[in-house]
Structure 1
Amino acid sequence: MAGTPAAPEPDRRIIAVLLADLKGYSQLPDQPRERLHLRTDEDTAPILRRYRTLTQKGTGDGVLVSFTDVRQAANCAFDLSTYYRDLDWHELEVPRLEVRIALHCGPATLHESKISGQPDLIGNAVIEAARTEPIVTPGEVWATDAFTTQLELRNQDERFAWDDLGEHELAREWGARRLYRLSRASGPSDGARRQDRVPAAPQWIQADLLAYAERMREEHSFINPSGIMQTERQVQVKMDDVFVPLHLTLREPEADIAWLLIEKERAAAGGGSGDFERDRPEEADLTAPYRFALRRSGQEQVPTAAIMPFEQALARHGQLVVLGEPGAGKTTLLRYLAYRHASALVDGSDEADGLGSPRFPIHVRLADYARAVEQESDELSLQLHILRRCQMRQIPLPEELLEGQLQRGNCIVLFDGLDEAGTPARRAEIAEQVEAFIRAYGGENVIIVSSRIASWRAGTQLVGDVTVATLAPLDDDGIARFLDGWCLAVEQQQRGPGTTTAQQAGEYAEAIKGALANNPGIRQLAANPLLLTILVLIQRREATLPEQRAALYDRIAETMIVNWRQRHVGELPFDQEEARMLLSHLGYRLHERRPDGMLTQDELVRLWAQRLAKDAGLPRPNVGIRSRAAELVQGVREHVGLLAERGEGLYGFSHRTFQEYFAGLEMIADSMAMVKHIRGKLHQPAWREPILLAVGRAAKSLGRATGDGLVSAIWHADSEYETIIHRDLLLALYCLSDMVEISSGLTQQLVDALAGLLLDTPNWRRYSSVPRIRTLLLTGQRALRSVGLPERLMARLEDVNESVRWSAAEALGRLGDGQAVPALMARLEDEDESDRRSAAEVLGWLGDGQAVPALMARLEDEDESDRRSAAEALGWLGDGQAVPALMARLEEKNQVVRWSAAEALWQLCETQDAEMEQAQHGHLLS
């Protein structure tokens, strides 16, 4: 029976809870209490970071922490108890207080706090700990019988001891419970460096440990885009200089993979949130198989996902699977972890740069292990493979050292590329070996496995207590940090340090940031670290990124194809045009006939073999052509990066942008049929991008006359209802905004037509096109500004028709043209209220600081609508000098103006102090 999809099952599990409280804290005067609070918050944070906590929550005078492991909870309790015992209370000028710590183990539910957005805990486990803590003797650690029962099962090394205290009545008449006084039998905490709590290893073992760590640090200290065409000189950049902290998305594993695939397909298609069956019907086809599976399982509602920095995810989850698309940064993340832990061991640090206590790093490429199993024996264990690989590379790793570190729980084991471990059958075998390894050593060792999403979904999964996470795309801040670090590192390597070097690096980075800001399609590509790296390399090679999208995609494809050829010198001779031809044929076929964008490997080989046979003048492929097609498919899949496995035995382009680009190339492959192909797909939503890219590439390669012909053919296609919805004109204008090379005469005609549409068309006829016009003005700002549109619009700011004046002002704001600011500032003094309001609104959109004084003056205007529009515009401008004037408006009698000022201050509050924020809040409540 159909109905509202059921909400995801709550995350219920058995956990260990620690509740600590300082007896007498609430009786302290305000100042001593504040000093103590600040000091203990700062000091206890690194203690908590040593452990794999599920949740952490301050309780004012204490802390509530949850764990999956009772040993972790017990050791954390002792570390906190020791800290408060040894705290210099005299220095703090605070009377000595004793900490009471209660430990309990039981069922609880994890959920996201609606207030903080952080993981939080509810359930009996929390209540039992809260009722136990008040009766604990200050200075001691007490545990319930449920906790000690679990601890006894894990106390084989007799690290912990406890005294039976008998039954006690819990606080608030909760009932009686048997309690125990817990103590540490010997040795430091579980979270401390584990080699310190076992008998000292022989000196030669310690020497080998340091030698091994030094080699690991050396091997993983550089990021090297090997094989990718760079400049005349191959460069390496240091991991420290360019690694960008990544984020992981975690959610419940049952529906995880299907939803990941849905989101992946929608992102590839350029989709966003909302009802995609209604808003983007082509996406419904892409995701139909996954949505059908979810309907059958009753999991149609998207599971709640938590996005967190990878350091936080690692602190909470000891066994983690990291999924990601090709080029998403899976291998780099694992190498970074190996590098950081190795560096901390070599340097003798107590912490691996925010990653907790240093661990013994073991990095294993599962593709190497699969080959070794194939060549040697199915019985080859992972441990033996690790030892042999180290011997081959002359890395000191005695068996006693490896086994000792694993047994002590000191290791971070990094299994890289489960998806690359051979055939599906072989991958299943390797997965079983990894599972066995986790069962044997997963208690206190951290184990991370990486895989592509498609391979994981297809069945190569791990069974057991592992958490599945997905690498999130780079956000704007991550992209900017990568660009700044990469450009500076490369310049310093090639030029040496210095002011000029830093200046040149900054110019390179800003040039790429500007290109991304001006082109949403390129920005989408840059969210993938591999593609972002390629953009950087192209910019270095050519001094600037091509402004036209089609030209930039040409360079990206060229870089990837040349990389392919460099890896296959002497084995697979072909030229770039042949590769483009085959990829174009594939892109067009997928875009036209396969909404899901996928073919099986056999279908792909057959498709390319038929095309190769046709070009060779053969009626059908022979054995040699089929063999060559198979080699080409394998080469593209493994090395080019343009194609990716998107399901078991299913292949498609790694990003939908590449499919659209190559489909566009196929549309113009026959110069005599270009217009026919383009008009045949005109105004089909899925073909808009291929058409724009096709026109751009044709104009670039065949000349402006060709560009004129294609753009004119679009403009004058005489599509149905053109006089009302203007689809032909707007698509031709999109070609102009896409920097397609056309003649100045045609450019001027298009600008005239757009100006007429904006200013001279009656409202009722322009209305249906308004959303597309606004999008055009925003996305084509640079191109439309360069062809004189702002001047045309400014001239109409004085038009006698109010509607025309408003349309001209709005269009100028959408274009973001600063030369309109003086004219718009003058309009703030206009007699017409609507003109003043529109001028203020547009000045806010433009973001030009020279308008701030004029807008601040309007805050004193007698007309309340002027005060309101000025406040709103100042909020959009984001200039801190407006804060005092906006604060004064919080005393307004008019509620609408007060709210406008408050909203503007809220937009500015990130750069202001807490006093302003508190004042704003107080006036809102009054």
Structure 2
Amino acid sequence: MLLCNRWIVILGDAGSAKTSLLRWITRSFAESILKGHTHVVLEGDDRIPVRIPILIRIGEFASWLKQYPKKTLIDYIGEHTWDSKLYYHDDNKNVLKEIIFYGHALILLDGLDEIVDVRQKREIVDLVKNFVAEYVHDPDFFSAFDDEMFSKILINGRYHDFVETKSPSTSGGNQILITSRIVGYQLHPLVGTSMCHYTFLLMNDSEVKKFMGKCLSSIEKKILEILLNEGINLDHKLLKTLSKRKGDVVKALLENNLELLSNPCLLSLICTFIFQSCDELNHKSRVEVYDHAVQVALRSWKSHKSNIPEIVLHNFLINLACYLHLNSPSGLIDEFDAKRLCYLTLQQQNLSDDHKILRDYANELTSLLDFNIGIFAERGLKVFGFLHLSFQDYFVAQALVKGSVEEVAKRILTITIHPRLHESLLLAFGWIAWKWPFDDYDRFCYLLVTLSTEYSIPFGTILFFDALNGIQSLPSNSVIFLALNNILDHSYYPSRTAYLISNLLKLPENIIMEWMQTNLTEEKRLSNFCQCLLQNAEKS
């Protein structure tokens, strides 16, 4: 990818390791520079010239831009931070700009999806485009957005246009890599003649096994190293017993949860759980994995013997996640705002009427956040944030599922159009399917798919099908049939053809057959379905 393409966009779902990849690339290039190498070795014998890596969180750029609305991305470079920590030494702040001007930089922009405000996202995408057009060229000054320099090449008997640009495998010219979640990207995409897009695929069976083997081996090695340094020697028989129990847990997981294990973030959490307890892990959905991690963290909180009840901490984290989602593209909050939000949460919980006591509690709670409980921690000097964006999504989901069935359905339906909340919506749906009584869950699904018919696009029905892969159990057949009919009958939904067939195939065969037998009796509906089948067959 880096060897062949100068302008790269990487798309992936939450937890697919987009940020981890950029950090690994940054480290690999930085280590090669420190060792005085002229090239970075990629896979096998592939080598690419060393460029100076400049890693930028787009969320932090968005926060900075609110203070300096007339500035651009090139102005931010040299001023930029990562988790609120300066990326450079003060006396070198202009060096990075000089490196870009001379074409020796690898610019890595992480998290194009983290912008909450739609207008600001459009502005930032435009700023990124302008930056790429002005500063990221090949040695012949060709840009990703130029539409000239086409040549013809014969492929399978047909001539195709292709662009002649110099590969980044030769020295000269900057290179850029941008990441974003898939959902919402198409609203403001980076489209250019030479802009190459890649999408992270889920890991397959062999990759999951390889990942788990390496991760578990690494954790075990580190634990034994710590114990040995402390002079603690574990009995070999005990180690063998623990290893067998761990192996049994892994085997059961691989047999029953391969779809869940295909996400790197979830798989990393599950590997950690295996070392925390060798008890059987029965997680069937992503929300269960995150909930397990939260419960483990809350047990750690109890060990501090704080005067603040666990439920208050939980509600504070919910309020904090909602605040960050709506107000902080960087996902960070300073100590002053954290204390203020904590004070308001304590007030809501009626912990005390005494302002001094509430302030003391707020100070105690925020000071304990300095201790890493595994969810939320100090990311910089008196600056806090969730350790992973998925935990922030989880607590926003907790806020969404509060209230009656009708309140929750209406609340969720009103925010389905916001791409930034999509992951939280899926987790909220998963929570409802997991925790609510079946009748309430079924009623919620019914409201979601029936209320959405009032819109020109059936957002509730679309969310219902998007959530199918992350839920434990399906609602009643009658609700599923309503949802399928909504898509099939909706005359204004442009992607009906591909969307209906792809989601129909997610369902068990007996449900598909029953729907076809009972709902394709009307001539118009049957005609629509046949058109969908034919158009889908032509595309494939």
Q: Distance in 2 between matches of 1:656 and 1:609?
A: 24
Q: Does 1:677 align with 2:415?
A: no
1:259/1:290 contact within 8 Å kept? no
- Does residue 697 in structure 1 map to residue 431 in structure 2? yes
Whole-angstrom distance in 2 between the partners of 1:674 and 1:548? 20
**1:558 corresponds to 2:295:** yes
Given candidates 657, 664, 668, the residue that maps to 2:397 is 664
Cα deviation code 1:590-623 (max 9, x no counterpart): 223333322211101110111102322666x722
1: distance between equivalents of 2:267 and 2:51? 21
Q: Which residue of 2 aligns with 1:751?
A: 480
Pick closer, same or farther for the CA change 1:479–1:767 going to 2, 3 Å.
same
Q: How does 1:716-735 map to 2 (within 5 A)?
A: 716-718=450-452, 720-722=454-456, 725-735=457-467
Distance 1:806 1:488, change over 3 A: farther
Aligned partner of 2:332: which letter?
M
1:59-458 alignment, distance < 5 Å: 68=36, 110=39, 116-119=45-48, 252-253=52-53, 255-256=54-55, 282=116, 301=136
Q: Deviations over 1:756-802 (max 9, x none)?
A: 568x659x766423555577568xx4xx33x8345559989xx9989
Q: What does 1:479-628 align with in structure 2 at a 5 Å threshold?
A: 479-482=211-214, 485=217, 497=240, 505-513=246-254, 517-519=258-260, 523-526=263-266, 531-537=269-275, 540-541=278-279, 543-566=280-303, 568-569=304-305, 572-616=306-350, 622-628=355-361
Report the secondary structure of 1:683's partner residue: coil
- Residues 784-803 of structure 1 correspond to what in structure 2 (within 5 A)? 784-785=507-508, 788-789=510-511, 791=513
Superposed displacement of residue 664, structure 1: 1.6
Inter-CA distance 67–683: structure 2 relative to 1 (3 Å threshold) = closer
Tell me which residue corresponds to 1:712. 446
- State whether residues 58 and 110 of structure 2, in contact with CA within 8 Å, keep that contact through their aligned partners in structure 1: no
SS in 1 for 2:284: coil
SS at match of 1:540: coil
One-letter identity of the residue aligned with 1:518: E
Instruction: For residue 540 of structure 1, report the CA deviation from its aligned partner.
Output: 3.0
Higher relative contact order (CA 8 A, sep 6+): 2
For 1:810 and 1:509, the matched residues in 2 are separated by: 42
Paired residue type of 1:540: C
Point out the structure with max Rg over C-alpha.
Answer: 1
1:300–1:287 Cα change, 3 Å: farther
For 1:595 and 1:702, the matched residues in 2 are separated by 32
1:738 aligns with 2:492: no
2:371 pairs with 1:642: no
- Show the counterpart of 2:362: 629
| Root mean square deviation, CA, Å | 5.5
Residues 645 and 808 of structure 1: CA distance in aligned 2, closer, same or farther (over 3 Å):
farther
**Which runs of 5 or more residues in structure 2 are unaligned?**
1-5, 8-30, 62-80, 84-107, 139-202, 224-234
- After superposition, the Cα gap between the structure-2 partners of 1:602 and 1:776, relative to the gap in structure 1 and judged at 3 Å, is farther
Deviation of 1:256 (Å) = 3.5
SS at match of 2:463: helix
The answer to whether the 8 Å contact 1:534/1:559 transfers is no
Q: C-alpha displacement at 1:726, in angstroms?
A: 3.1
Normalised by the length of structure 2, the TM-score is 0.55
Query: Is 2:379–2:385's contact at 8 Å kept on the other side of the alignment?
Result: yes
CA change 1:509–1:283 in 2 (3 A) is farther
Are the aligned partners of 1:642 and 1:654 in contact in 2 as well (CA < 8 Å)? yes
Gapped regions of structure 1 (runs ≥ 5): 1-5, 8-52, 56-65, 69-107, 121-249, 266-272, 304-473, 812-833, 842-926
Q: Distance in 1 between matches of 2:43 and 2:254?
A: 35
Residues 271-329 of structure 1: CA deviation (Å, up to 9, x unaligned): xx99986x8864985898999799899996499xxxxxxxxxxxxxxxxxxxxxxxxxx
Q: Distance in 1 between matches of 2:429 and 2:465?
A: 12
1:894-905 map, 5 Å: none
Contact 1:276–1:283 (CA under 8 A) maintained in structure 2: no
Corresponding residue of 1:169: none
Contact 2:39 2:47 in 1 (8 A): no
Structure 1 residue matching 2:384: 3-state secondary structure: strand
CA distance in 1, matches of 2:121, 2:368: 26
Contact 1:597-1:652 within 8 A present in 2 as well: yes
Residues 766, 655 of structure 1: CA spacing in aligned structure 2 closer, same or farther, 3 A cutoff?
same
For residues 563 and 806 of structure 1, do their structure 2 counterparts lie closer, same or farther at Cα, with a shift above 3 Å needed? farther
CA 1:602–1:295: 2 relative to 1, 3 Å: farther
* Mapped partners of 1:287, 1:627: distance in 2: 42
How far the C-alpha of 1:485 sits from its partner, in A, is: 4.0
Q: 1:769 to 1:803 in 2, by over 3 A?
A: closer
* Superposition deviation, residue 526 in structure 1: 3.5
Task: In structure 2, give the amino acid aligned to 1:768.
Answer: S
User: Could you tell me how far 1:508 is from its partner in structure 2?
Assistant: 1.9
1:675 is displaced (CA, Å) by 3.8
Kindly, what percent of the aligned residue pairs are identical?
16
| Per-residue Cα deviation, 1:426-465 (whole angstroms, up to 9, x for no partner) | xxxxxxxxxxxxxxxxxxxxxxxxxxxxxxxxxxxxxxxx
